[in-house]
A and B are shown apart, each in its own frame.
Chain A
Amino acid sequence: MEVFELLLLLSLVVCAVSVAVIRDLLASIIVFMSYSLIMCIIWILLQSPDLAITEAAVGAGVTSVLFFVTLKKIHAIRKEDRDE
């Protein structure tokens, strides 16, 4: 369990840094989503399932969807498609 927690915390740090470093906006939002999911598991391990539910619904769900909509509005996602 100790190792699992350490692994989760480490990936949390990796996610947090890579959100700032990644240049692709779409990818950085998806990494942000995975940050929220990892955080959700950590909340469960810290025995606060209330927060875990909220984190999963708000952090991984609604916030990222709002980010996606914003990216679509400012035509940032479409540009990514054009490059491929």
Chain B
Amino acid sequence: MSKRKSPQELGRYLKFKRWLAGDLDLLEDVTEDAVPVAAPEIADRLPARDSALESRCRASEEVYGPEVWPQSHAPGYAQAWRDRVALQKGAGDAQAVLQAQEKSLGFFRAVYKIMAVLLCGAIILVFLWTTAFLPPFGNPDNPANNEVPARYIRHGVEETGATNFVTGMILDYRAFDTFGESCVLFIASCCVQVLLRVDACDGKSAARTRIQQENDRLFEPKNDGILQQTARLLVPLIMIFGVYIILNGHLSPGGGFSGGAVLGSGLILYLNTFGFAKTERFFNERVYRRMTLCALTFYCLAKSYSFFTGANHLESGIPLGTPGAILSSGLILPLNICVGLVVMGTMYSFYTLFRKGGM
């Protein structure tokens, strides 16, 4: 039984053989993995039971499994035959049950639609009603404008050294909160890895076939001229923009997360254009793992001291420099770089996980 193949695999194999023989264009052919689907009419159009054919099918079922044999011997025959047997068994009862089910389902479908519209309208109404009680936008007397933002705005630059208040807040005053947030993100990305990753270590042949099934690189155009020329122009610009956002996170709008997302999108564009082989040369799983580990550990070491001291701000001993210079504001720049690297790696690894279940 070790020779048993899955129906998709066998279908693909047969298709590949037809392609080799030259009577099938793989790019034109869109009916992938054609496992025969039985239309109910086939059962009626079938000839009377053909015992010789059936025994031949049985024999191949022993080798390949029940789903395969109609494909190799009599297209559509087996499923139709099975359907007819099932129909004859149930005969009238099955029809009646089906009709009754359809009727009750129809009622539920109507109720479902009405309830969905009602619920949606109710939620919209509640939200609008709540919004009516919110304080007006930009009003100086709003409850949010208390002593905390006043302190941030008045003393933010001299205390954190960052001319971008938001970054100063996120990565200095509230760096420990941000650490918790990045932990949440890390756990989320771990969950995605657990769900989507194809583990190559357990059961060599099984994993290999799964990787081949997940791999959808077979059917894509390899050298798309328009895409490649555009990407040659765009990818460097996107990457430089991402690096700029990260490095200037404490001076101008942006920071680690947005810059990392831009870098990740640039990498995904590069990957889509030039294929996995070229990206794996400089960015494979080992690089990703080491990079993420180093960045997260550095962030953890640099900011988890607040957990032990209980204070929200402590002197790090690093000179803050002149606000506005690129080497200023102490730990914020290295932290931004760390966050950027982690976010870039996470975006890229999500994409590769979706594509082929691993980097």
Task: Give me the interface of A with B, judged by CB distance under 8 Å.
Answer: 49-50, 52-54, 57-58, 61-62, 65-66, 69-70, 72-73, 75, 78, 81-82
In the complex the two chains form, is B261's CB within 8 Å of A58's CB?
Answer: yes
In the complex the two chains form, is A65's CB within 8 Å of B255's CB?
Answer: no
Nearest B-chain residue to A55, judged by Cβ = B258
Q: How far is the CA of A64 from the CA of B253 in the complex (A)?
A: 24
B contact patch SS:
helix
In the complex the two chains form, is A61's CB within 8 Å of B255's CB?
Answer: no
Contact of B262 among A57, A78, A81 (CB under 8 A): A57
In the complex the two chains form, is B30's CB within 8 Å of A78's CB?
Answer: yes
Chain A positions within 8 Å of B258 at CB level:
50, 53-54, 57
Chain A positions within 8 Å of B265 at CB level:
57, 61-62, 65
Q: Mark B158-183, 1 if CB is under 8 A from A, else 0.
A: 00000010100000000000000000
Residue B264 CB within 8 A of the other chain: yes
Contact of B261 among A54, A69, A70 (CB under 8 A): A54
Q: How far is the CA of A3 from the CA of B142 in the complex (A)?
A: 26
In the complex the two chains form, is A53's CB within 8 Å of B30's CB?
Answer: no
Assuming the contacts A62-B265, A72-B216, A73-B216, asked whether A54 and B351 have C-beta atoms less than 8 A apart, the reply is: no
Chain B positions within 8 Å of A58 at CB level:
261
Q: Mark B322-355, 1 if CB is under 8 A from A, else 0.
A: 0000000000000000000000000100110011
Q: How many residues of B contact A (CB 8 A)?
A: 22
Which 4 residue pairs across A and B have the least CB separation, nearest first?
A57-B261, A49-B253, A53-B258, A54-B258
Task: Give me the interface of B with A, judged by CB distance under 8 Å.
Answer: 30, 32, 164, 166, 216, 245, 253-255, 257-259, 261-262, 264-265, 268, 347, 350-351, 354-355
Assuming the contacts A66-B354, A73-B354, asked whether A50 and B261 have C-beta atoms less than 8 A apart, the reply is: no
Chain A positions within 8 Å of B254 at CB level:
49-50, 53
Q: How far is the CA of A65 from the CA of B350 in the complex (A)?
A: 10
In the complex the two chains form, is B30's CB within 8 Å of A62's CB?
Answer: no
Q: A53-B245, A53-B258 are in contact. List 11 more A-B contacts (CB 8 A).
A: A50-B254, A50-B258, A53-B253, A54-B261, A57-B264, A58-B261, A62-B261, A65-B265, A65-B351, A69-B351, A82-B30
Chain A positions within 8 Å of B350 at CB level:
62, 66
Among B166, B216, B268, B354, the most chain A Cβ lie within 10 Å of the Cβ of B354
In the complex the two chains form, is A50's CB within 8 Å of B30's CB?
Answer: no
Chain A positions within 8 Å of B262 at CB level:
53, 57
Q: How far is the CA of A81 from the CA of B254 in the complex (A)?
A: 39
B230 to chain A, nearest CB (A): 15
In the complex the two chains form, is A62's CB within 8 Å of B354's CB?
Answer: no
